[in-house]
Amino acid sequence: MRRFNSFDDFLQQVEFFVDTVSDYKADIVLFPELLNAPLIHTYEGKNPTDAMRMLADYTDDLRQAMIDMALSYNINIVTGSIPQIGDDGNLYNVSFLCRRDGTWDSQEKLHITPDEDAYWGFTGGKDIKVFDTDVGKIGILICYDVEFPELARLQVMKGMKILLVPFWTDTKTGYLRVRCCAQARAIENECFVAISGSVGNIPKVETMGIQYSQAAVFTPADFSFPHDAIASEATPGIETVLITDLDLDLIKELRTQGSVRNLESRRTDLYELNLKTSDQNGK
């Protein structure tokens, strides 16, 4: 998080990270929640709700720029999340998957925190999706959503093997809620989970002044994985790039031969999980 004087300056910083990660032949890059928040200072003097809605003016251009980067750098980009005004006039917190073949999809944040409602006026989305990519099926849960175990379980039931969690937290307490729940999702669903948040500060911006983050990639807990179920983690509070190799064959092996098999062991004779709303766009 830092102040930018223009949208072009902001895009240059985004492209720096895409370029850097692509140099290591990465398949997916994950950005933090509210990725374009550093531009909100350009609306200094506006109340937080109006400023967040005005920030949504950048959404279409930012999504297109990141689609272009995905093509140019041959990498799948998860944009973190960006405010978007829906056709119904409500403000949504939306993550875009920009594939390296030029196609794109989106996942709305479903659960809105009390502060996000009070200060920014966000509305929760309605669809939970799983996306096809050239490296396998992935899911996206934005920050608070990872604290609801039903969502990741529904995604795994649709074939997800990698869960990506962009988040924004201002305190270590908030961060640990996201981290601990992400670790639980990895173990109980036998999948990989990557989390990415922002660090730094934005002076003179109400409700978004400070950030606390530590990016990490979590694994299931079994003999084929790290003993602490952490594939990698960054230094807390430091802007950095975290690059991690994941072997999806280990997930397949775990689900059929693991010491414990959470998915296989579910007592469906006693309980079940159903999605009430249909997913029109998910795979």
pLDDT (tens digit, 9 = 90+) per residue, 115-159? 999 999 999 999 999 999 999 999 999 999 999 999 999 999 999
Residues 178-196, mean pLDDT to the nearest whole number: 98
pTM: 0.93
Q: What are the distances in angstroms from CA 91 to CA 51, 87, 88, 212? A: 12, 10, 9, 25
The highest-level CATH class for domain 7-257 is: alpha beta
- pLDDT of 196 higher than 80: yes
Distance of alpha carbon 182 from alpha carbon 191, whole angstroms: 10
Catalytic residue among 109, 129, 137, 161: 109
Q: Are 197 and 156 in contact (CB under 8 A)?
A: no
Catalytic residue among 98, 129, 143, 181: 143
Active site residue 25: no
pLDDT (tens digit, 9 = 90+) per residue, 98-118? 999 999 999 999 999 999 999
Query: How sure is the predictor about 246, in pLDDT bands with cuts at 50, 70 and 90?
Result: very high
Active site residue 33: yes
Question: In the chain, what are the domain boundaries?
Answer: 7-257
Least confidently predicted of 34-43, 96-105, 156-165, 261-270: 34-43
Active site residue 129: no
Backbone CA torsion sign across 250, 254, 259, 263: positive
- pLDDT of 3 higher than 70: no
Distance of alpha carbon 244 from alpha carbon 115, whole angstroms: 33
Q: What are the distances in angstroms from CA 12 to CA 17, 69, 130, 152, 161? A: 9, 11, 30, 33, 32
Least confidently predicted of 85-89, 166-170, 210-214: 210-214
